[in-house]
């Protein structure tokens, strides 16, 4: 397993992130232990970030921006709490009932060369829907066996 080779730009970013993280921790009047808890990281990792020795991943960046108000530039992109808002799903879409569409699927697919069967299977813990489709691709030409 090989290590990733970081550029000087990556190390500059790590140092900048460490400085801004340190400022944000002080602004929120947090101890280093409290800051590590808010970022969901070990205290030793926090000190690596503060010293510019480690480059944070996207989840750490997101937590630092959202929890502590860190604002940092990465290759010309401003990373702040608003930047990560698109990553959060606030309301999950409600699934549409599948059974309303299954009858039309069967009618559409059943024909001369295809046959579809749809069965509801009830198990111990979960209810399943089994869809089986049989396709007739054609007939094989018989070889003359008298050769």
- Whether 80 and 44 map to the same domain: the answer is yes
Q: Is residue 146 part of a domain?
A: no
- Whether 50 and 26 map to the same domain: the answer is yes
Residues 33-77 have pLDDT tens digits of 999 999 999 999 999 999 999 999 889 999 999 999 999 988 888
Q: Is residue 1 part of a domain?
A: no
Q: Is residue 48 part of a domain?
A: yes
Identify the domain containing residue 124 by its residue range: 99-135
Contact 53, 44 (CB under 8 A): no
Q: How far apart are CA 32 and CA 17, in angstroms?
A: 16
Q: How far apart are CA 21 and CA 50, in angstroms?
A: 7
In this structure, of 95-104, 117-126, 137-146, the range with the lowest mean pLDDT score is 95-104
pTM: 0.56
Count of CB atoms situated within 10 Å of the CB of 135 = 10
Helix (H, G, I), strand (E, B) or coil at 117: strand
Count of CB atoms situated within 10 Å of the CB of 115 = 14
Strands 77-79 and 114-122, bridge-based pairing: unpaired
């Amino acid at each position: 397993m090989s290590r990733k080779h970081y550029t000087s730009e990556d190390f500059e970013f790590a140092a900048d992130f460490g400085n801004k993280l340190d400022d944000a921790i002080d602004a929120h009047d947090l101890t280093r232990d409290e800051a590590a808890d808010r970022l969901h990281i070990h205290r030793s990792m926090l000190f690596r970030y503060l010293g510019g020795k480690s480059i944070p991943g996207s989840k750490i960046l997101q937590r630092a921006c959202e929890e502590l108000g860190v604002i940092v530039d990465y290759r010309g992109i401003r990373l702040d709490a608003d930047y990560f808002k698109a990553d959060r799903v606030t309301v999950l879409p409600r699934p549409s009932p599948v059974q309303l569409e299954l009858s039309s699927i069967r009618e559409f697919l059943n024909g001369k060369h295809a046959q579809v069967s749809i069965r509801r299977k009830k198990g111990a813990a979960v209810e399943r829907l089994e869809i089986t489709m049989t396709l007739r691709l054609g007939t094989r030409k018989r070889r003359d066996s008298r050769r």
